[in-house]
């Protein structure tokens, strides 16, 4: 019986599964080698993919962080009750005690007109204008804190009931800003998703053009493969790995860009939340997010390669 040489001569054809694994390994190695031979153009392609993935992902991450902060608001909106100008401070305190006994009211805080004027001047810096006032134009104000279990409809009804009480000029329900913010978050999420879809299409087209150039540069090699019996599936395998690898690298760089952006914005975001007496809930871009972006980029690269390579390989036929 003939022995097997170190080169494998005389060993016969490989089993089907082993040959399939060998071909895929060779295709992956070939793809990496081709990428390393053209570092400049491939780096630019990776950067284009990274930016295309980073823009919508950063928007969605920021919207998600703000939405998490809104979900942490366990207290209902505050009601500002403006008393009539003729009401004295003692009358305002008695009115506050009366309101506090009503159902759905957790607490009432009295802000006298002098304190309100002082806070207004400090917040606006209008000291010169305030010195010209003959009298304090602000009324006594009651800050009403509803119970935590009261709903929006209950707040509206409570506001109407308070307006009917004697001595109350107006009731301001401080929830419009929250409703507007929630509407803005919904809009921002929709815009980010639409932008993400457009950017994903851009990634597919960008990689498709890159792979088309790679196919043209290897036209003679593909013709030889087809002449010796290799089909389109064999010829396109290295390009599939190239697309997936470029997409994965783009996802990795995209994650790094988002991480660095969050780090740079940490101080401004914390300052913004401090204005609302809240702590910032923006989480750092984690390892799972990197894996998700790399997987998404790799999938887009694979899809782009499948479409582009199949389209252009069909046009290359041996003469």
Say if domain 79-174 classifies as CATH 3.40.50.300.
no
CA distance 76 to 159: 13
Question: pLDDT tens across 8-63, in order?
Answer: 444 455 666 676 676 667 777 777 777 778 788 888 888 989 999 998 988 888 88
The pLDDT, as a whole number, for residue 4 is 46
Q: Indicate whether this model's pTM tops 0.95.
A: no
Q: Listing from the earlier edge strand, what are the strands of the sheet with 105-111?
A: 105-111, 141-146, 79-83, 168-173
Our CA dihedral for 243, 249, 254, 256, rounded to 10 degrees, sits at: 180
CA distance 257 to 264: 11
Three-state DSSP state, 232: helix
The pLDDT, as a whole number, for residue 147 is 72
Within 10 angstroms of residue 304's Cβ, the number of other Cβ atoms is: 28
Residue spans of alpha helices (H) in 168-280: 176-217, 219-227, 232-275
The domains of the chain are located at 19-72+179-313, 79-174
The b/e string for 59-93 (b: 16+ C-beta within 10 A; e otherwise) is bbbbbbebbebeeeeeebbebebbbeeebeeeebe
Tokens of 27: 């295709």
Mean pLDDT over each residue of the chain, to the nearest integer: 76
CA distance 247 to 205: 12
Which position has the token pair 């804190």?
A: 145
The pLDDT, as a whole number, for residue 9 is 45
Question: For the chain, which ranges sit under pLDDT 50?
Answer: 1-11
CA distance 200 to 292: 14
The contacts of residue 60 (CB under 8 Å, 6+ apart) are 189, 192, 193, 196
The contacts of residue 82 (CB under 8 Å, 6+ apart) are 139, 141, 168, 169, 170, 171, 172
The pLDDT, as a whole number, for residue 313 is 67
Helix (H), strand (E) at residue 281: none
E strands, the chain, are 79-83, 105-111, 141-146, 168-173
Question: pLDDT tens across 166-196, in order?
Answer: 888 887 776 666 677 778 888 888 888 898 8
Within 10 angstroms of residue 45's Cβ, the number of other Cβ atoms is: 23
């Amino acid at each position: 019986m003939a022995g097997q040489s170190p080169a494998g001569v005389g060993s016969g054809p490989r089993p089907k599964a082993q040959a399939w694994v060998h071909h895929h390994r060779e295709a992956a190695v070939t793809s990496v080698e081709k990428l390393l031979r053209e570092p400049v153009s491939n780096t630019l392609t990776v950067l284009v993919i990274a930016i295309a993935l980073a823009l919508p992902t950063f928007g969605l991450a920021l919207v998600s962080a703000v939405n998490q902060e809104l979900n942490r608001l366990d207290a209902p909106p505050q009601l500002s009750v403006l008393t009539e100008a003729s009401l004295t401070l003692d009358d305002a305190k008695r009115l506050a005690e009366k309101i506090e006994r009503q159902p759905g009211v957790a607490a009432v805080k009295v802000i006298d007109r002098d304190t309100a004027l002082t806070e207004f001047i400090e917040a606006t810096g209008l000291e010169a204008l305030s010195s010209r006032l003959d009298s304090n134009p602000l009324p006594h104000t009651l800050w009403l804190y509803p119970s935590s279990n009261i709903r929006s409809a209950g707040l509206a009804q409570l506001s109407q009931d308070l307006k009917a009480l004697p001595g109350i000029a107006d009731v301001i329900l401080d929830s419009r800003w929250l409703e507007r913010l929630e509407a803005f978050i919904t809009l921002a999420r929709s815009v980010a998703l639409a932008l993400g879809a457009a950017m994903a299409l851009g990634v597919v087209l960008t990689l498709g053009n890159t792979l088309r150039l790679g196919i043209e540069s290897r036209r003679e090699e593909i013709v030889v493969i087809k002449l010796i019996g290799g089909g389109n599936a064999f010829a396109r395998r290295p390009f599939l790995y190239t697309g997936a690898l470029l997409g994965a690298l783009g996802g990795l760089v995209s994650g790094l860009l988002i991480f660095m952006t969050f780090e740079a914005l940490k101080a401004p975001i914390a300052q913004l939340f401090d204005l609302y007496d809240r702590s910032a809930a923006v989480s750092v871009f984690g390892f799972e997010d990197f894996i998700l972006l790399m997987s998404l980029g790799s999938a887009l690269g694979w899809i782009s390669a499948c479409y582009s390579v199949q389209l252009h390989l069909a046009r290359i036929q041996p003469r």
